[in-house]
């Protein structure tokens, strides 16, 4: 297992990052929170703690800023019906600390707002993890990244829409539906950053 990859961040979008280490570029799947944390570090050396998911038809690498976030991701996947992409979707809709609190307090309604999670699956997550999730040490920075949105001028709104719709498409949402939702969000909050738009869209699609 690869514990972590430390290298230069050469490419970044809301669903994956590319780290170059020892001349090799690693494409690493990330959640929206990780994208937010990395957003000001392009072309700088960073470390991502990784989790490999190897199946017959795929070999995916997921990356996280802290060991605690990775532990939460792995814990989510222990629940029947939750794979890597669904776990990433949950960790894109909420911060790690919010997820821990939602599960610990039995808030199935909040969990079921995540695309692809029905009430039964949300309840299963709570039943399976409620007694375990508070043991996770999320460490420093687990709540960072969403507190200080960038101020965006009108001329870059189209870039925000393009990047948000592209990320939602990579997560499995229809482009047309994503575009309508993103338009609605930007109309109501024109200064929203890309990560804020995606986070809100995940609760609306």
What's the pLDDT tens digit per position in 12-49? 988 999 999 999 999 999 998 898 888 866 568 899 99
Closest CA to 87 of 107, 58, 116, 126: 116
Q: How many residues does the chain have?
A: 205
The answer to whether position 149 is within a domain reads no
* H or E segment to which residue 112 belongs: none
The answer to whether residues 43 and 26 belong to one domain is yes
Range of the domain at 166: 154-201
Same structural domain, 94 and 117: yes
User: How wide is the angle at C-alpha 197 spanned by C-alphas 84 and 68, nearest 5°?
Assistant: 40
Burial zone of 37 (CB within 10 Å; 0-12 exposed, 13-18 middle, 19+ buried): buried
Question: Which span out of 20-29, 88-97, 103-112, 190-199 was modeled with the highest average pLDDT?
Answer: 20-29
Residue 33 lies in a domain: yes
Residue 127 lies in a domain: yes
Over the stretch 121-142, which tens digit does the pLDDT of each residue have?
A: 999 999 999 989 988 888 744 4
The residue to which tokens 């999670």 are assigned: 117
Q: Does residue 144 lie in a domain region? A: no
Is the domain of 187 the same as that of 158? yes
Residue ending a domain, choose from 108, 135, 162? 135
CATH of the domain at 39: 2.40.50.140
Assess whether 89 and 116 both reside in one domain: yes
Is position 141 within any domain? no
Sign of CA dihedral 168, 205, 196, 106: negative
- To the question of pTM greater than 0.85 for the whole model, the response is no
From 37, 64, 91, the end of a domain falls on 64
Same domain, 58 and 87: no
């Amino acid at each position: 297992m690869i514990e972590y990859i430390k290298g230069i961040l050469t490419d970044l979008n809301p669903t994956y990052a590319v780290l170059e280490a020892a001349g090799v570029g690693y494409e690493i799947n990330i959640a929206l929170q990780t994208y937010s944390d990395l957003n000001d570090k392009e072309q700088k050396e960073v470390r991502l703690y990784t989790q490999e998911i190897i199946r017959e038809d795929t070999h995916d690498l997921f990356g996280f800023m802290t060991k605690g976030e990775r532990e939460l991701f792995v814990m989510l996947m222990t629940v029947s019906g939750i794979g890597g992409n669904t776990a990433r979707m949950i960790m894109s809709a909420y911060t790690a600390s919010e997820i821990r609190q939602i599960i610990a307090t039995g808030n199935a309604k909040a969990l079921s707002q995540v695309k692809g999670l029905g009430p039964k699956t949300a309840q299963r997550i709570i039943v399976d993890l409620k007694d375990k999730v508070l043991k996770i040490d999320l460490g420093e920075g687990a709540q960072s990244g969403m507190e200080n949105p960038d101020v965006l001028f009108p001329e870059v709104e189209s870039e925000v829409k393009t990047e948000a719709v592209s990320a939602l498409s990579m997560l499995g949402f229809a482009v047309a539906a994503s575009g309508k939702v993103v338009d609605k969000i930007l109309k109501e909050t024109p200064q929203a950053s890309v990560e804020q738009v995606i986070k809100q869209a995940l609760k609306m699609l």
